[in-house]
């Protein structure tokens, strides 16, 4: 192993030379109690910054086994280390000067969710810590300024590393709290299944966010408090007894006047598939982690999806058992989203009337009388919601502000009133009973039968030969793989642009290694998820170094992304 002195020597030699001479610094160097590895050197001061990683041997890092052994505590610890390191690095970023990105020191910036990231990996067993960051190697114009890089690597980084990646220097109380929260969240997830619940929202939870562009908790929000009739008490290993609203399996309706907090509750449930950091307000809002938000998504592409459960006999004669379009309508897109979520193995649909296609959700009686059912290709969701629950074991939580018909189908009705929930199932059923049952003279609907899930694809014409496929992320909205843009804006449970980047690499990997015209798309999504699960997110990017800005998506989002790839055939 080269020593830090060797790096100093290289820096002395290349000082004042042209920028490309920085390439000589690539390699790993022993810096006392850690290893600094320069994994990739940028081509010029304005290019994407250089990739650097820090490796601390588990024995030296010293994090207790109860933080590093179980997956959920390990992810929480890694998340805490990235946040800590980020705070330290912030003080030093751009303290070294120069042109372009000179002096930048940057590490991933996690939001409110705790996700597994390539920015920090902890190895179970050994407890080794690996942290990835970006450094802008300093230059004057395009001339190497080695003295400034030396400041970064020999003064700034050692400070950051020592303060954040060694247990002996860490805020131990904080890290204990991080571990305990992760254990408690894990326990709630485990108990959901055992108690036949699909979601839990603790009393005291703060659901609304600061603003449309900030994911931080709203200050002075009305704290959540469960209605007595739906309250459950869970016993957690660290937080002890905790009370909150348990949403049972089945069909649950959230109703209430406009602006009373319905969508806010649903949004919190959508995000509840992930764990949140302490102070977020949604720490104990936990949803079945297979839950999928279903919405209308006009314009999306649909490739061979069997939407015949909802749509049949289209006027253009298109086959809806293997539906293909490059520009879906509101209803066909929402139908495809339902079927694909089933295919991805969801146990819970989350639907907001606000973002649904009305003709997909309901059909009122008058309309049914005027427009003959034979002329209507759509079997609305309301006619399938019970079958989905009873036959397929998929629950639904639905926000309905204006459509009372769902009262007939709901097993639970929650009314939001001034941001507080109340259970009104009895009342809603009584009122519904007094109203003529709109479904009563309708001929009984035949069950849909299981959708056909066997969809196979080949990688398309640009396909598998090309191993230099370029991946470009566009925030959370889209990722382009070899100039094929996959729109992900309406895949709402994608919460971090690093997940989107990871999906880009997954699409590339799938095109090169998995799509073969034989494996079905579900299998491909599962293989990608398994690869990331077993070997880390790095396994899907085969480059010389692993990007420091990837976060692991759920299999549901992997699947959603593959479904929106227009280049598959």
Residues found near Mg ion in the complex (CB under 5 A): 263, 354
Residue 136 to residues 106, 133, 143, 217, 366, Cα–Cα distance (Å):
9, 10, 13, 33, 66
Residue closer to ligand ADP by CB (options 102, 112) is 112
- Least distance in angstroms from the C-beta of 421 to ligand ADP: 10
The Cα 410–Cα 435 span in angstroms is 16
With contacts defined by CB under 6 A, name the span among 13-21, 33-41, 252-260, 462-470 that binds ligand ADP: 252-260
Of 100, 208, 250, 421, the one binding ligand ADP (CB under 6 A) is 208
The answer to whether 381 touches 220, Cβ cutoff 8 Å, is no
Q: Give me the least distance between CB of 419 and Mg ion, in Å please.
A: 12
Q: Please give the Cα distance from 317 to 70 (Å, whole number).
A: 53
Of residues 435, 422, 465, 468, the one with CA closest to residue 245: 422
Closer CB to ligand ADP, residue 80 or residue 291? 291
- For residues 417 to 456, the per-residue mask of contacts with ligand ADP, x marking binding by CB under 6 A and - elsewhere, is --x-------------------------------------
Q: Give yes or no for residue 361 binding ligand ADP (CB under 6 A).
A: no
For residue 156, give the 3-state DSSP assignment: helix
Looking only at residues 492 through 521 of this chain, which bind ligand ADP when binding is defined by CB under 6 A? Answer: none
Let me know: does 553 contact 540? Beta carbons within 8 Å: no
Q: Is 297 exposed, middle or buried (0-12, 13-18, 19+ CB in 10 A)?
A: buried
Return the residue matching tokens 């055992």.
Answer: 194
Residue 363's nearest CA partner among 394, 406, 329 is 406
Instruction: Tell me, residue by residue from 37 to 66, as one string, x for binding to ligand ADP by CB under 6 A and - for no binding.
Output: ------------------------------
Residues 144, 198, 207, 528: which binds ligand ADP (CB under 6 A)?
Answer: 207
Tell me which residue of 134, 399, 132 sits closest to 247, measured CA to CA.
399
Q: Which does 26 bind (CB under 5 to 8 A by kind): Mg ion, ligand ADP, none?
A: none
Judged by beta carbon distances under 5 to 8 A according to partner kind, the member of ligand ADP, Mg ion, none in contact with residue 73 is none
Least Å from the CB of residue 173 to ligand ADP: 30
Give 238 or 259: the residue with its C-beta nearer to Mg ion.
259
CB of 413 to ligand ADP, least distance (A): 15
**DSSP collapsed to 3 states, 178-204:** HHHHHHHHHHHHHHHHHCCEEEEEECC
What Å distances lie between residue 61 and 2, 30, 548, CA to CA? 21, 15, 20
Which of 263, 332, 355, 356 is the binder for ligand ADP (CB under 6 A)? 263
List the structure tokens of 307. Answer: 């939407």
Chosen residue from 98, 127, 244, 256 binding ligand ADP by CB under 6 A: 256
Interface residues toward ligand ADP, by CB under 6 A: 207-208, 218, 221-222, 256, 258-264, 416, 419
């Amino acid at each position: 192993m080269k020593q830090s002195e060797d790096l100093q020597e290289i820096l002395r030699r290349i000082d004042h030379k042209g920028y490309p001479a920085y390439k000589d610094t690539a390699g790993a160097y022993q810096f006392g109690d850690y290893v600094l590895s320069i994994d990739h050197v940028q081509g010029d001061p304005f290019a994407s910054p250089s990739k650097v990683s820090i490796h601390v041997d588990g024995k030296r890092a010293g994090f207790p086994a109860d933080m590093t052994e179980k997956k959920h505590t390990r992810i929480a610890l890694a998340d805490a280390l990235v946040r800590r390191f980020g705070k330290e690095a912030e003080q030093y970023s751009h303290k070294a000067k120069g042109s372009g990105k000179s002096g930048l020191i940057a590490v991933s910036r996690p939001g409110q969710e705790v996700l597994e990231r390539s920015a920090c990996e902890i190895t179970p067993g050994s407890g080794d810590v690996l942290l990835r960051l970006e450094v802008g190697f300093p230059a004057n114009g395009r001339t190497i300024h080695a003295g400034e890089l030396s400041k970064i690597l020999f003064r700034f980084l050692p400070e950051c590393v020592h303060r954040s990646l060694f247990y002996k220097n860490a805020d131990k109380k904080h890290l204990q709290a991080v571990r305990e929260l992760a254990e408690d969240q894990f326990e709630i997830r485990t108990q959901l299944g055992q108690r036949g619940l699909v979601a839990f929202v603790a009393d005291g939870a703060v659901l609304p966010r600061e603003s449309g562009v900030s994911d931080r908790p709203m200050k002075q929000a009305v704290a959540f408090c469960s209605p007595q009739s739906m309250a459950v008490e869970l016993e957690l290993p660290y937080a002890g007894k905790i009370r909150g609203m348990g949403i049972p399996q089945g069909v649950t309706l959230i109703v209430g006047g406009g602006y009373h907090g319905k969508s806010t509750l649903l949004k919190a449930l959508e995000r509840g598939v992930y764990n949140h950091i302490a102070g977020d307000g949604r720490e104990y809002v936990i949803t079945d982690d297979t839950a999928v938000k279903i919405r209308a998504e006009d314009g999306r592409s649909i490739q061979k999806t069997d939407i015949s459960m909802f749509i049949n006999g289209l006027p253009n004669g298109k086959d809806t058992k293997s539906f293909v379009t490059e520009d879906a309508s509101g209803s066909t897109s929402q139908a495809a989203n339902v079927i694909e979520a089933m295919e991805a193995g969801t146990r819970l649909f989350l639907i907001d009337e606000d973002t649904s296609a009305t003709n997909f959700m309901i059909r009122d009686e008058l309309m049914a009388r005027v427009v003959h059912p034979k002329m209507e290709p759509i079997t609305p969701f309301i006619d399938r919601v019970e079958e989905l629950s009873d036959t397929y074991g998929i629950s639904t939580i639905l926000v309905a502000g204006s459509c009372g018909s769902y009262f007939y189908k709901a097993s639970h009705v929650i009314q939001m009133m001034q941001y507080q929930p109340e259970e009104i199932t009895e009342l809603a059923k009584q009122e519904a009973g007094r109203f003529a049952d709109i479904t009563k003279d309708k001929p009984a609907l035949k069950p849909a039968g299981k959708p056909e899930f066997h969809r196979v694809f080949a990688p398309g014409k640009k396909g598998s030969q090309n191993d230099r496929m370029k991946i470009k992320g566009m925030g959370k909205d889209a990722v382009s793989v070899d100039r094929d843009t996959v729109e992900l804006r309406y895949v709402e449970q994608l919460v971090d642009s690093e997940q989107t980047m990871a999906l880009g690499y997954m699409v590339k990997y799938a095109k090169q290694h998995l799509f073969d015209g034989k494996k079905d798309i579900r299998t491909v999504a599962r293989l990608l998820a398994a690869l990331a699960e077993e070997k880390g997110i790095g396994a899907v990017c085969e480059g010389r170094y692993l990007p420091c800005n990837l976060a692991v998506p759920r299999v549901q989002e992997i699947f959603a992304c593959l479904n929106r790839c227009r280049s598959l055939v």
